[in-house]
Structure 1
């Protein structure tokens, strides 16, 4: 890997549940593809390695907040032809969704993005999601779903499409394979209905709790610290977690909420004003302060983790601050994994070429 991998979460108007109150657009803008594409373009110009798009079976439930969102894969797909370098990484569930459909949707996204798609595989099985589907999830489903996806992506060999005009054959049937997967909850015969993705296999991101039971390429992990804990404590705890995750062969990417000083207003005051409407309960470790201090923290983290995914409090405020006041300063002394047009997300992340299991054994 060529440097620290920086990602950014682009869901909604930001990580703060009242972020919509500080947004620069009308709330209905979140239900248009254009806004999501513009934010992905802004993140790409800033130099982020990837942008992620959160999702869930049930809508956001913040009191007095916006209670609707577009499907994450659709948001990423809208941004795909309108960006050229940044990785696009939507969330998609593994417990209740059909793995065949998820795998083919993600393969299609990778084709649209020319090899820049990834997948945050989630395993949500909360009561609200279970009641929506009318059943409880099955243990081990996440591992099965990821395995099915990987097999389906391999089910077409790279040279399966032959377009032989003389014989009227589009495919070489011997290079398209049934996966014949049988798990505890379902079976999938295959093959995929979508040719092999440009990357061969999309990078699979997953929470640290999945590592060891699910084959993930990138582990997203949290560090539990009290509010106001010193930066060196965050770095020390992150180092311990990263070492454990790397032992399983995954890249270790820390989750970090951020609120920055902006337009002369201290970050703490910005957060307090939004908290007066809806308190911001911490989901991840949090940084609140100046762009210079955040750049220093990220530089320190670069020595112990593979990457950091940032969750800005308010995208319309914090993303410009990150683009102009943090990443340029950070780049002066810290190597960053900067995507280039034509690179795949696997290349940006420093992952090896995905070998097709069927072609390898042929």
Structure 2
């Protein structure tokens, strides 16, 4: 029995902004499930201004049709409420194709951009856990049927179906609710590096070692930073692979090697075979 085909993801941070639509389009045409967009609070080494990953993803949302879009948004230098809002907005703009690559920059220079100092390992893990948990609560703060659009009574929404989350984290609190309705996917797909130790909160876990032990539940994607031909060896070992080309030409070469897995859609959860989560407040 042959191994199931891999979900393919590709990091586009090495691709110039002007080439992003062509790069994402090539990956989409080749059947890739999603693209990721790395980021940093610091300027590029060249001194050029860095266009924030969420903005790049929003730009691609109207220039692609099926592929998932996963900007890296940082838990340590972004307000959790704004982070959750940005991702929900991306899911609406893309018709349900948003994902969140959880980033946790913790260098002195990086955190100095927001007036913070580096966290110890336990503090960093707790910060990431708190931000993921509150983002998920905020996405659920509007029930699916909160918008009623009752012309006869002039009611746009049912206020009883919009909820405060009243979250208390170690370093922040959020009352909520979100300022946007629930994302089309219910929950944006959350992609978490295995090194953060938060596999249980992820929809997709990124591992450097394909043999790494991951908690049951999330999909497992292996990082493939060189020798893309190795992706043929990983079918049946992991659920997906994330590739890291450094240019559009390199991406084109990788696309030629891809075994092909047509993107199912219409949402990224559909493509990855992930269920649409029940709203936590509606379930309660």
Q: TM-score, normalised by structure 2?
A: 0.92
- 2:82 paired residue number: 101
- 2:268 pairs with one of 317, 336, 345: 345
Distance 2:65 2:4 in 1: 19
1:82-107 CA-to-partner distances (Å, cap 9, x unmatched) read: 21110001000001210000000000
- Which is greater in Rg? 1
Q: Is the 8 A contact 2:53 2:71 kept in 1?
A: yes
Which residue is equivalent to 2:205? 219
**What do the CA deviations read for 1:293-313 (whole angstroms, capped 9, x no partner)?**
x1xx22221121111000013
The match for 2:127 is 141
Which residue of 1 is the match for residue 41 of structure 2?
57
1:358 aligns with 2:267: no
Name the SS of the counterpart of 2:206 in structure 1.
strand
Where 2:23 maps in the other structure, the secondary structure is: helix
1:316 maps to what in 2?
Answer: 248
Residue matched to 1:287: 227
| Cα distance, 1:137 vs structure 2 | 4.8
Residue by residue over 1:162-194, the C-alpha shift from the partner in whole angstroms, topping out at 9 and shown as x without a partner, is 011111110100110000101111110100000
- Cα contact 1:96–1:137 (8 A) shared by 2: no
Residues of 1 paired with 2:111 and 2:267: CA distance?
36
Tell me if structure 2 keeps the 8 A contact 1:37–1:75: no
* Stretch of structure 1 that moved more, 120-129 or 101-110: 120-129
CA distance in 1, matches of 2:111, 2:62: 35
Please list every run of 5 or more consecutive structure 2 residues that lacks an aligned counterpart in the other structure.
none
| Partners of 1:196 and 1:353 in 2: CA distance | 12
Aligned-partner SS, 1:352:
coil
Compared with structure 1, are the counterparts of its residues 213 and 349 closer, same or farther at alpha carbon in structure 2 (3 Å cutoff)?
A: closer
- Indicate if the aligned counterparts of 2:98 and 2:268 stay in contact, CA closer than 8 A: yes
Residue 85 (structure 1) aligns with: 66
Q: Which residue of the other structure, out of 232, 247, 257, is the alignment partner of 1:326? A: 257
**C-alpha displacement of 1:131:** 2.2
Instruction: Indicate which of 16, 22, 45 corresponds to 2:29.
Output: 45
Task: Please give the alpha-carbon distance, in whole angstroms, between the structure 2 residues aligned to 1:146 and 1:116.
Answer: 18
Structure (1 or 2) with the greater helix fraction:
1
Distance 1:56 1:212 in 2: 21
What TM-score comes out, normalization by structure 1 length? 0.73
Q: Please report how far the alpha carbon of residue 2 of structure 1 lies from its aligned counterpart in structure 2 after TM superposition.
A: 6.4
Is the Cα–Cα contact under 8 Å of residues 69 and 98 in structure 2 kept in the other structure? yes
Task: Measure the CA separation in 1 of the matches of 2:4 and 2:184.
Answer: 21
1:279-331 Cα shifts (integer Å, max 9, x gaps):
xxxxxxx217xxxxx1xx22221121111000013x221122222x212xx24
Q: Are residues 1:155 and 2:141 paired?
A: yes
1:184 to 147, 150, 170: 170
Partners of 1:95 and 1:137 within 8 A in 2: no
- How many residues align? The count is 277
Distance 2:197 2:187 in 1: 18
For the residues of structure 2 that align with 1:359 and 1:2, how far apart are their CA atoms? 35
